[in-house]
Amino acid sequence: MSTQTILLDIADDVAVITLNRPDKLNAFNEDMHKELRAAIKQVKTDKARALVLTGAGRAFCAGADLGARDLASGEKLDLGALLEKYYNPLVLGLRRLPLPVIAAVNGVAAGAGANIALMCDLTFAARSARFIQAFVKIGLVPDAGGTFMLPRLIGLQKAMGLAMTGDDIDAETAESWGLIWKCVEDEALMDTVMDFARHLATQPTRAIGLIKRAMLAAAGNDLESQLRLERNLQRVAGYGTDYREGVAAFMDKRPPKFTGT
């Protein structure tokens, strides 16, 4: 699929969605939200086994398009309605995808762009990339799940500091704080992420989807509920062909051939 604001490519069981408004640093507008939603649906339909999210040009995503017709008017707008219509379903759509979602943050990630990158299951960033909770600079509150993810990833003090100041954080610092999985040299970013995604796509991806569900549910569960969830998910995994294949391969001393089922 190739549309105006999103590029979608699926090969070797790996889907790559590229945010594609480079002259606006891939800022979200309505078209991009709609095309992104359709692309995510397509990824599910095509049964991709890993998804990579990246940006075209020098940025990952500069957040909401501040020049968009509705936002630029300066009129009193219900921004909550915009979140309800576009950003919240996007966040939930990525979280509920039963496959690993990997961000390749190729450049600056600001506002909702930063938080979408942090909502991915694993976030890689180019050394020159920056993460900016830009909201406060325009009198707004972090959205797209930022207030949920930041304290969980880096603790309350650092989360509060980033959100209240809107200061940049570079990729190396982001890695050292645990905000992202890995900082990679700029020129190696896409190869590193694609190799990683292709590798994951050969792994027991149904189990990986269940791992994702368990990890994400943990934040809202007490121990007993989480143990019950682990029991339920392990039951599902244990009925899968990948479990049988994994054990058989181990016993036969040969590499496993997982199918994601």
The contact set with ligand LHQ (CB under 6 A) reads 24-25, 27, 62-67, 71, 79, 82-83, 87, 108, 110-112, 132, 134-135, 138, 140, 143
Angle at 110 between CA 215 and CA 52, to 5 degrees: 50
* Residue 13 or 65 with smaller CB distance to ligand LHQ: 65
Instruction: Considering only CA atoms, give the Rg of the chain.
Output: 19
Beta bridge partners of 14: 11, 50
CB 90 to ligand LHQ: min, Å: 11
* Residue 98 or 161 with smaller CB distance to ligand LHQ: 161
Beta bridge partners of 110: 132
* Residue 30 or 230 with smaller CB distance to ligand LHQ: 30
* Residue 123 or 202 with smaller CB distance to ligand LHQ: 123
CB 36 to ligand LHQ: min, Å: 14
* Residue 60 or 196 with smaller CB distance to ligand LHQ: 60
- Picking from 18, 14, 16, 13, the residue whose alpha carbon sits closest to that of residue 3 is 18
CB 86 to ligand LHQ: min, Å: 8
Q: Which token pair is 25?
A: 């640093």
CB 105 to ligand LHQ: min, Å: 12
E-assigned strand segments in the chain = 6-11, 14-19, 50-55, 59-61, 101-105, 108-110, 122-126, 130-132, 168-170, 182-184
CB 69 to ligand LHQ: min, Å: 12
